[in-house]
Structure formats: structure tokens, C-alpha cells
Structure 1
Amino acid sequence: MRWTLKPKPSKENVEALQKALQIDPVLASLLVQRGVDNYDAARKFFRPSLDDLHDPFLMKDMDRAVARIEQAIANKENILVYGDYDVDGTTSVALMASYLKTKHSLVYTYIPNRYDEGYGVSYKGINFALENDFTLIIALDCGIKAIEKVAHAKKMGIDFIICDHHRPGAVIPDAVAVLDPKRDDCTYPYKELCGCGVGFKLIQALASKEGKTAHDLTEYLDLVATAVGADIVPIDGENRILTYFGLQVINNNPRPGIKAILNQVEKTELTITDVVFLVAPRINAAGRMKHGNYAVTLLAEEEPDKAENYAAEINDYNLDRREIDKQITEEALQQIIDNNEQNCLTTVVYHQDWHKGVIGIVASRLIETYYRPTLVFTRSGDKLAASARSVRGFDVYAALEACQDHIEQFGGHKYAAGLTLKAENYEAFKQAFEDVVSGTIDRTLLTPEITIDAQIDLKNITPKFYRILKQFAPFGPSNMTPVFMTDGLVDTGYGKCVGEDKTHLRLTATQPNSTARFVCIGFSMGDKYDLISEGKPFKAVYSVDENQWQGNISLQLKLRDLKA
């Protein structure tokens, strides 16, 4: 691990904020690091308000999208709500369809089949719309690159409204409206909405025509918060507001589909991290193992008993997914060894029988062992399909762009992408990808990095300190859980390896001449026991959280890494 201490923010700014808020200087420093450097910014940070959401009509084409939907409702047209099969796509479809059905009975949903249609807008989906007399398709979390498909639909008399958040290409589809904050010609103030967030802005705009505000739409925010967490978009600006209130809905009054999932995980108060690791994988499992329609059906269901049945079915898919991704990960790791590719700067592996629904997860798992840009391929029809994942700081989308002579189709983000290519181009692509990465990547990025917010002493960690720290949530990109480093630590003599297989480390840390002591837990850090044994001094990187045991709540340190 590389330990990188963030630069200290301006002393003047920290002191001014500390004085204005009457808080610990460490906390003031953390806020300034996050761009919260005055009283008003702090008020908005700690007290998010739906009133601070931007006017949806600031988004380019929003007026056109609203007018076309109002026309469709007035003319009793069939509307098809179309979205991708992942969490962002299925939550988007559930949100838009649920809202429109309160205004119009002729609303239906369509999720493409991962295996015979692939990602995004498909000709099969357009043909379905044509055969069933749909004259308007609202595409969510996809469509920004569907130039030919949108043109084809237009010839067939089918209009498109696109709500996307991915990077556009050089050409924008010829749709009635293209809502995408990342359009170069869109001046919308916040660029980092997920697909479901763009969908929410559209229903916010529609509701405003009836004199309603975002306060009247809070019931949809459990879906938006789930999508924000799952799609790993920054949790700042509008996303922070939407997630903050979405988590309140999830914890206090979730829709029956999400409540049914929560009943499976038996957790009372969910954080955004819990949503990412407990709720999102179950929603995703439907599209990975069976069909994304199952997730939409669950999320849009209004009857609790039916929702429980749907959630149980999806949980079974998730259990199957776990088994399969574990098996494929083992096979992929063995392939790297067999091909003697441990020292490459990329991981590119392929097997024709690997399950297409889990190759993205496998790519992430491989990065845990070989920390480098990774692609996992499988066969998909007469082509090969891959999921790409990257390491922090390296743009895998740009690397794929540099290899596009070997690729049929690709799309995605800086850190995650998907592509297809012809089988005969696989080896040439594999070499080209290795060449591009090795020629452009900063070698230090190939060592995992821990970014440290501040170096502190244990005495800084008080109940009041933690109470305020807790209010920094929801955490995520652009507002990560604060990470601290403390030097000169010693174990009080109770350190030991714990867990069934003794792979975790538990100890009680203190500093010389200090009365402060904290239980520390380091998951999968049992191999570092020798660093802390026999009173050896060590330094640690950690976050602060709560431990609940037999009704008692105490502060503990969640270790990220240790060094002598």
C-alpha cells in the first residue's frame, strides 16, 4: 500500500471555519479539504435541503422532453420506458414508470436481455415498440450513443426521449430530447447525476407543471439513492441532497420492493455503504443471472406480499451469482499463472463458457490480486464481450479508445467499461491494450493507494468528535469516509488473530503518555500480527466507527493498513 497524506488546507481558511462553527480544528480541516470553507457552505453540507436542488429546466432539452410527454398523455399514446439491466437502469425504469402511471395508464417497461441484446438501446427493443404500437420511448441510463437506432426508430414513427449520464460521442442522437448533463452544449450546473438522477430531474420538471416541488416526490428517492450508491458517482452537490433524503426514505418508509430486500439483510439503519453492498447486488443479480425485468417488477410492486416473493426469488439469483463469480475468479487467476502473465501491466483473460453476467464482478476481484487495468472476456453469440475495470487514477475508457481499431463497440466510464470484438481480433487487442497501458500509465498507480485525510493523535478522537464526523455522511466519491493516520502506537498486550480462520487482527492501541485507548479491528490483516506483537511500536491508517456489542456502543478503529 502507498500511504498518501493529503496536503494541509490553508491555515487561514481552517481557522476561520473553526471559529465560525466552533468545532475541532481537525474537523474544520476535513471540511475545507471537501470544499466546505465558509459558514453557508457548512450549513448546506450538514443540513441538505431539497430546496437547493437546481431547476430541472436548466438542463438542455428539458422543455422539449416535458412537452412531448404531456402530448403523449393528452393523445393517449402508448409510452415505453426503456432502461439498462443494471441497478441504475432498473431503478430508473421503476422510477419513471411508477411516476407516469400516476398520470397515464398506457405506460409499459422494457429492459433489454443482457445475452441476446446487450447493453443499451437495441433493434429488438425498437421492433417490440413498433409491433405493440408504442409511439414514444423514454430511454434511461442509456441511449446517448444510439445514433443509428434512434434514427431507425424515427423512420418507424417512434420518438425517443433520452435520459443519460454517460459521455456523449461526437454526434448527439436525433431524438425529440436528449437529457444528459455531460453534453458539451448543456449548461446544467451539476454534471455528475446518475441515470436515475437524470430521470428524477425529468419527473421533477413534469411535477412542476402541476405546481409540485421535489418535496412532493420524496417517495421516489429511495430508488435514486440506491442508484447513486451502486453507480459510484460523486456524492456531492445534488447527489448528496438526493442521497441524504433517499436514505431517510430507505430507513423510514421504503417502497415494498426495497423493504422486502431489507427484510432479508436484517439491518435496522442502513448507510449508503450498506445500500451498495447489501441492496444493490440483489437488484443487479436479476439482470446478471436471469433478466432485469425481475428487478423492475420488484421495485415497482406495491403489494408487500408479492414484493416478498419477488425478493426471495432475486435473492436466490444472488446466491447463484456468488457461487459462479467465485468459481470464475479462481479459473481466471489460474489462467494468469498458466500464461505466465503475473508481471504484465494489464490483466486480459478469456474463456468462452464464463457467465457474461458476472464478468464485471470477476474483473474487480482480479484487481484485488493483481492491481492493474483488467478485462475479462467471454463469448457472446458470434462475438467476444468483456467488462473492463481500472485502478485508481487510470482512465481505462481512454485506453480502449486508443485500441478501437480492434473493437466492434465499447462504452462506459473512466473506471468501468464494456466492449465487444470479433474473436479473431482478441490476441491483437490483448497486445494493443498491454502496449497502450504500459506506454501511458504512471507506474506508481499500480500500487494500491490509501489517501489519508489527516495525521492525528488518539486523544483527538472523542465522542463529540465522532458525533460531528458522523454527520459528514453520506460518504462516497468526492466525500469519502475520513481516513486518519496515527504514529507511535503500541498494543496493550491483547492483540490477537481472530475469526474462524484467524485471518483478522484485533488489538487495543494506545500511545505512550496517553490515557486514550481504542479497540482496533483489521479485516484480512492477520498476517500483520508480528508488526504489533511484543510491544513493538507501529503506525496505523484507519477510519473511526462504532462497535455494538451486547447493547453497548463504543468507538473503535477500523484498520486500513499497518506499518512498523
Structure 2
Amino acid sequence: MRWTLKPKPKPETIASLQETLQVDATVAILLAQRGIETYEAAKKFFRPSLKDLHDPFLMKDMDRAVERIEKALFNNENIMVYGDYDVDGTTSVALMSSYLKTKSNQIATYIPDRYGEGYGVSYQGIDFAHDNGFSLIIALDCGIKAIDKVNYAAEKGIDFIICDHHRPGAELPKAVAVLDPKRDDCEYPFKELCGCGVGFKLIQALASKDGKTVEDLTEYLDLVATAIGADIVPIVDENRALAYFGLQVINAQPRPGIKAIIEETKKKELTITDVVFIVAPRINAAGRMKHGNYAVTLLTETDEKQAKIYASEINEFNLDRREADRRITEEALVQIIENKEQDRLTSVVYHESWHKGVIGIVASRLTETYYRPTLVFTKSGDKLAASARSVSGFDVYNALEACSVHIEQFGGHKYAAGLTLKQENYEAFKQAFEDEVTKTIDRNLLIPEIKVDFQMKLKDITPKFHRILKQFAPFGPSNMTPIFMSEDLKDSGYGKCVGEDDKHLRLTATQGREKIVCIGFNLGDKCDLITDKKPFNAVYSIDENHWQGNVSLQLKLRDIR
């Protein structure tokens, strides 16, 4: 791994923050590294407020979207709320449908089948809307490239409102309204909302017409926070405020569906990391293993007893997902080795029997193993479908765009994308993708990087410092958990490997008279570096250890040398 020390901010910036905030240099450095250089910026950071959210009408087409929905509600039209089958999509559909149901009983939801219809707006979904008398479809977390589908709907007398956050193509669909902050002609101040975030801005705009404020909508923020965590969007600006208050709802008064998931896991207080690794995978498992409708049903259920039944069912899907993920990852790793592809700069693997619902997770696992841009393909109807994952700093979307001559359809983000292609184009695409990555990637990006905020002495790791650190949460992209480095540490002499197959490392690090307990997950193979009190350097985050009612600070080791 590469250890990269972040540049130290200007001394005058650190001094100014110290003076205005009355904090020590370490806190001032952490703030400045996150672009927080004034008292006002620090106040917004440490004390997020829903009043700081932007006016939803700054988003292009918001007025048109509100006008069309108000017309539909006034005329008692049938409205279909349509969304993708992943966490962002299903939370978006739950959010929008439950809000609109407070105004009309003519609201229905539709999640496309991952296997029968594929990603995004489908002709099948439009036919269903037409056959059942729907005159308006609100598409969430999808639709920005559904040009032909929106035209098809228009021919059938169905209007579309699109709420998306993916990159648009050269042409936008001819919908009544296209809400997407990434539109070139959209001047909305914050571009990094998730799909559920765009949906929330729409209900914020609708509510404002009824004289309501954003504080009247806090009951929906558990959904928004879940989507923010799952979709790995930057937790800054609006996302920080939405995640901050959404976590409060999750921990104090979550909707019955989310409450039932949390009760299944026996967790007490959830962080955004817990949402990502505990709540989100269960919601996602419905669309991966069965159907996204199960997730929407759970998230919109108001009866706690029924929600527990649905949560238990979804937990079973998640267990199935884990088993499929483990098996396919093993098979994919074998394929890479057997084909002698360890020296390539990309990993591209395919098997027709792999479960389409888990290929994205498998792509992430392979990226963790070989750390290079990765695609995992499976058979999908008469075509091949793939999930793409990238390494930090490399734009896989641009790489796919450069290979588009071989691709039928693709979409996504810088670090995650999906695509389909004809089977006969697989080998040509695989080579073109390797060639494009070889041509454009900085070789340093193929070595995992740990970005270190700054170097610390163990004596500076105090309960007071940790209390301030906790106020930097919620953590995520653009506001990652602070990582520190300490040099010339020694084990107290009792360090050892722990856990199944001795995978983890546990020790007490000493530096002069100071000592602190450390846990290094998956660092068991580095045990020999600490034996016989050999000096070592470490990068770590500062964590709490809860044991038999006692709370103490510990270091969560990320790497040692």
C-alpha cells in the first residue's frame, strides 16, 4: 500500500482557525484539509441545519415537475412511481410514493425486474402503466438516458417526470421535466445528490406549495440517509445535512421497516458505516435475489408486526446473496489465475451461470484482491451484462465510453457502471478495455493508497480529541474518517494473531511511556513485523472499544511497516 501524507494547510489558515474556533492545531489541520477555513464554514460543518438546504426551485425543471404533479393530483390521475431495484431506487420509490399517498389514493409503485426487464425504464413498465390507466410516471434514480422509452410513453399518452443523478448523454429525454443536477444547463448549487436526494428535493418543492418547510419532512430522512450511504456519494454540503439528520431519525424514530432490519441485527446506535454494511445490503438483497418490490413493501409498511415478517424474509435473501457472492468470487479468482491474467491492468471475467444480482459485489471483491479496473459479466437474455468497478482516481465511465463501439448500452458513475453487449463482441471489448486502461491509467493508481491526514504522537490521542473527532461524522467520500500515522512504535510483548485462521492482529502499541491497544483486521500476516519489540510505523483511525460496560480508546490499524 502507498501511504500518502496529505499536504499540510497554510500556517496562517491553521492559526486563524485556532483563534476563531478556540481549537488546537490538530483539529484546525483536519478542518482545513476538508476545505473548512472560516468560522461560518466550521459552524455549518459541526452544526448542520436543514435551513442550509438549497431552494429546490433552483433545480432546472423543478417548477414544471411541481406543476404537472399538482395537476395530476387535482384531476385525480393515476400516478406511477417508478424506480431502480437497488437501494437508491427502492428508497426513492418508498419516499415519493409514501409522500404522494398523503395527498391521493391513486398512487402505485413499479420496480422493474432485474432479470426480465433490466436496469432503468422498461417498455414492459410503460405497457403496464398504459394497460392500467396511468397518465403520469415519476421515474427515480433512472431515466436520464431513456430517450426512446419516454417517446414510447408519450405515444401512449403517458407523461414522464425524471428524477435522476446519473450523467446525462448528449440528448435529454423529452419528458415533462428532467430533474438532474448533473445536467449541463442546471445551475443547482450542489451536483452530488443521490437519486433519493433528488426525489427529496421534489417533495420539498411540493410541500413548500402547501406552506410546509423542510422540518415537516424529517420522517423521510431515514430513507435519504440510507440512500446516501449506499450510493457512496460525497457526504458534504446538502448530503452532510441530510445524512446527519437522517441518522438521527434512524436512531430515534425510524420507519417500521428500517426498525425491523435494525432489530434483526441487534445493533444499538447506527453510524453511516453501519447503514452501509447492515441496512443497505439487506434492502439491496431483495432486488438482487428476488425482486425490488419486496424492499419497497418493507420500507412503506406502517405496521410493526408485518414489517418484522418482511424484514425476516429479506434477511433470508441477504443470506442467499452472501453465499452466491462467496461462490462466484472464488470462481472468478480461479478464472483469472487459470487464464494467466494476473499481469493485466484490468480484470474482465465471464460465466453464463453467474447470478446477475451479485456481479456488482463480485466486481468489488475482485477490485479489492487485484486492485485494478474490473468487469464481471454474466448472461442476460440473448446478451451479456456486466458490472464495472474502478480503483480510486480512475474514471471507469470514461474508459467504457472509449470502448462504446463494442457496447450496446452503458451508464453509471466514475467508479461504478453497468453495461450490456452482444456475446460475439465480448473478446473484442475485453481487449479494447485493457488497451484503453493501459493507455490512460497512471500506474500509481494500481497500488492501493492510504491517505494520511497527519502524523501523531500517542500522547496526543486523548478522550477530548476523540470527542471532537466524533463530531466530524457522518463520514464518507470527501469527508473520510481521519487517518493518522505514528512512527517508532513497539509492541508491549503480548501482540498476537487472533480470529479465525489468525486473520487479525491484536497488540498494545507503546511509544515512550504511552501505550494503547490496537486491532488490525486482516493484518494477521504482518505479525512478524511486531515480534521481539521490533520498531514499526502504523497508519490507523481512532476507535472506541466497548467491553463489559467499559469504553476505552483503541487504534484501528489500517497498515503497518
- Aligned-partner SS, 2:530: helix
Task: State the 1:20 CA deviation.
Answer: 1.2
Matches within 5 A, 1:469-548: 469-512=469-512, 515-548=513-546
Kindly indicate whether the alpha-carbon contact (under 8 Å) linking 1:351 and 1:378 is maintained by their aligned counterparts in 2: yes
Q: Deviations over 1:134-167 (max 9, x none)?
A: 0000000000000111011111100000000001
- Aligned-partner SS, 1:113: coil
Task: State the 1:494 CA deviation.
Answer: 1.5
Matches within 5 A, 1:124-523: 124-512=124-512, 515-523=513-521
Matches within 5 A, 1:72-111: 72-111=72-111
The residue type paired with residue 101 of structure 2 is K
- Aligned-partner SS, 2:136: strand
Q: Distance in 2 between matches of 1:39 and 1:338?
A: 58
Task: State the 1:492 CA deviation.
Answer: 1.2
Q: Distance in 1 between matches of 2:24 and 2:355?
A: 51
Q: Distance in 1 between matches of 2:255 and 2:371?
A: 39
Q: Distance in 2 between matches of 1:313 and 1:224?
A: 23
2:550 is equivalent to residue 557 of structure 1: no
Q: Deviations over 1:28-80 (max 9, x none)?
A: 10001101111111111000000000110110110100000000000010000
Q: Distance in 2 between matches of 1:319 and 1:350?
A: 23
Q: Distance in 1 between matches of 2:355 and 2:144?
A: 27
Q: Distance in 1 between matches of 2:514 and 2:330?
A: 44
Task: State the 1:23 CA deviation.
Answer: 1.2
The residue type paired with residue 121 of structure 1 is V
Q: Distance in 2 between matches of 1:280 and 1:207?
A: 27
Q: Deviations over 1:361-407 (max 9, x none)?
A: 00011112111000000000000000000001110000000000100
Kindly indicate whether the alpha-carbon contact (under 8 Å) linking 1:24 and 1:465 is maintained by their aligned counterparts in 2: no
The residue type paired with residue 475 of structure 1 is F
The residue type paired with residue 320 of structure 2 is D
What TM-score comes out, normalization by structure 2 length?
A: 1.00
Kindly indicate whether the alpha-carbon contact (under 8 Å) linking 1:255 and 1:302 is maintained by their aligned counterparts in 2: yes
Q: Deviations over 1:251-291 (max 9, x none)?
A: 00000000000001111110000000000000000000000
Kindly indicate whether the alpha-carbon contact (under 8 Å) linking 1:222 and 1:246 is maintained by their aligned counterparts in 2: yes
The residue type paired with residue 544 of structure 1 is I
Matches within 5 A, 1:6-25: 6-25=6-25
Task: State the 1:104 CA deviation.
Answer: 0.7
Q: Distance in 2 between matches of 1:207 and 1:387?
A: 37
* Corresponding residue for residue 5 of structure 1: 5
The residue type paired with residue 474 of structure 2 is P
Runs of 4+ in 1 over 3 A off after TM superposition: none
Task: State the 1:516 CA deviation.
Answer: 2.2
The residue type paired with residue 522 of structure 1 is G
Q: Distance in 2 between matches of 1:550 and 1:476?
A: 30
Q: Distance in 2 between matches of 1:275 and 1:492?
A: 36
Kindly indicate whether the alpha-carbon contact (under 8 Å) linking 1:153 and 1:159 is maintained by their aligned counterparts in 2: yes
Task: State the 1:509 CA deviation.
Answer: 0.7
Q: Distance in 2 between matches of 1:372 and 1:40?
A: 40
Q: Please tell me the root mean square deviation across aligned C-alpha atoms, in Å.
A: 0.6
Q: Distance in 2 between matches of 1:556 and 1:404?
A: 49
- Aligned-partner SS, 2:154: helix
The residue type paired with residue 528 of structure 1 is K
Q: Distance in 2 between matches of 1:462 and 1:83?
A: 47
* Corresponding residue for residue 115 of structure 2: 115
Q: Among the aligned pairs, what percent are the same residue?
A: 76
Q: Deviations over 1:309-335 (max 9, x none)?
A: 000000000000000110000000000
Q: Distance in 2 between matches of 1:331 and 1:450?
A: 29
Task: State the 1:501 CA deviation.
Answer: 2.0
Kindly indicate whether the alpha-carbon contact (under 8 Å) linking 1:325 and 1:362 is maintained by their aligned counterparts in 2: yes
Kindly indicate whether the alpha-carbon contact (under 8 Å) linking 1:222 and 1:254 is maintained by their aligned counterparts in 2: yes
- Aligned-partner SS, 2:502: coil
- Aligned-partner SS, 1:80: strand
- Aligned-partner SS, 2:551: strand
Q: Distance in 1 between matches of 2:205 and 2:558?
A: 44
Task: State the 1:21 CA deviation.
Answer: 1.2
- Aligned-partner SS, 1:150: helix
Kindly indicate whether the alpha-carbon contact (under 8 Å) linking 1:509 and 1:517 is maintained by their aligned counterparts in 2: yes
Q: Distance in 2 between matches of 1:96 and 1:516?
A: 54
The residue type paired with residue 145 of structure 1 is K
The residue type paired with residue 325 of structure 1 is D
Q: Deviations over 1:499-551 (max 9, x none)?
A: 13211101111112xx3211000011111111111011100000001000000
The residue type paired with residue 479 of structure 1 is N
Q: Distance in 1 between matches of 2:491 and 2:187?
A: 55
Q: Distance in 2 between matches of 1:510 and 1:34?
A: 30
Q: Distance in 1 between matches of 2:514 and 2:226?
A: 38
2:35 is equivalent to residue 35 of structure 1: yes
- Aligned-partner SS, 1:501: helix
What TM-score comes out, normalization by structure 1 length?
A: 0.99
Unaligned runs of 5+ in 2: none
The residue type paired with residue 119 of structure 1 is Y
- Aligned-partner SS, 1:505: strand
Kindly indicate whether the alpha-carbon contact (under 8 Å) linking 1:79 and 1:136 is maintained by their aligned counterparts in 2: yes
Q: Deviations over 1:393-447 (max 9, x none)?
A: 1100000000001000000000000000000000000010110011111111111
Aligned residues: 561
Q: Deviations over 1:164-183 (max 9, x none)?
A: 00011111110000000000
- Aligned-partner SS, 2:128: helix
- Aligned-partner SS, 1:116: coil
Q: Distance in 1 between matches of 2:515 and 2:551?
A: 15
Unaligned runs of 5+ in 1: none
Task: State the 1:100 CA deviation.
Answer: 0.2
Task: State the 1:92 CA deviation.
Answer: 0.1
Q: Distance in 2 between matches of 1:305 and 1:463?
A: 41
The residue type paired with residue 287 of structure 1 is G
The residue type paired with residue 91 of structure 2 is T
Q: Distance in 1 between matches of 2:100 and 2:269?
A: 30
